[in-house]
Structure 1
Amino acid sequence: MPKKKQKGPRPKHVPQRTCVVCRCTHAKRALIRLVRDADGRVHVDPTGKRNGRGAYLCHNSECWNQAIRRGALARALRIDALHPDDSAALEAYARALTPLTIAE
């Protein structure tokens, strides 16, 4: 039985990632990547290309607060605990976030 030919161009593959707190799945570029470097410090990775273990959070500041308070971020990045300086920097970043509406 012959295969049906697809009409039109094939849709482009969009990588999906999951927020470590609310477990919502969105396009990779719609979430914010945090990365643990070789020294065990955590940084925001706006380009998504830094070396190290990565985890994703959505643009909801409540997700950021829960990730820091409950230890979800430390678990996802496979570290014992966040460094106090990293924690303060991430909380400041969360306060500056503006909610992003993501089209499904």
Structure 2
Amino acid sequence: MNLPLPKHVPLRTCVACGAKREQARLIRVVQGPEAGISIGASSRERGRGAYICPRRQCWEKGLKGTRLEHALRAKLTNENRAALLQYSSTLEDIDSNG
């Protein structure tokens, strides 16, 4: 009996907490060629990307140090950091299993 093969689900790692999750469950941050930051960008958008869990704690941890900057291989400007902090304030605080 031939069972169908399970469909491949791409996994990505959160740059803040290191959790491996399905790509669709993480939020992508992209450093574009013009030094602009895109949040929630599709995987097709050009630029250096990093994935972060949709938890406020992960965003705070990623922005507190240099984890996000290291993943994007770029220094965040004050405007970009403020935009990311503003976006993170819209996220909910959920448990680590969420």
Q: Which interval holds the TM-score relative to the shorter structure? A: 0.7 to 0.9
Residues 30, 41 of structure 2: 8 Å contact kept: no
Task: Name the count of aligned residue pairs.
Answer: 96
Deviation for aligned residue 1:77: 0.3
Residues 33, 45 of structure 1: 8 Å contact kept: yes
Deviations 1:25-44 (A, max 9, x none): 00000000000101222221
Aligned to 1:62: 57
- Aligned residue for 1:74, secondary structure, equals helix
State the TM-score, normalized to the length of structure 2: 0.87
Q: Aligned to 1:26, which of 10, 18, 21? A: 21
Q: Aligned to 1:52, which of 47, 50, 61? A: 47
Where do 5+ consecutive residues of structure 1 fail to align?
none
State the TM-score, normalized to the length of structure 1: 0.83
Aligned to 2:81: 87
Larger Rg: 1
- Structure 2 distance, partners of 1:8, 1:35, is 39
- Structure 2 distance, partners of 1:75, 1:49, is 21
Aligned Cα root-mean-square deviation (Å): 1.8
- Structure 2 distance, partners of 1:53, 1:42, is 10
Identity across matched positions, percent: 34
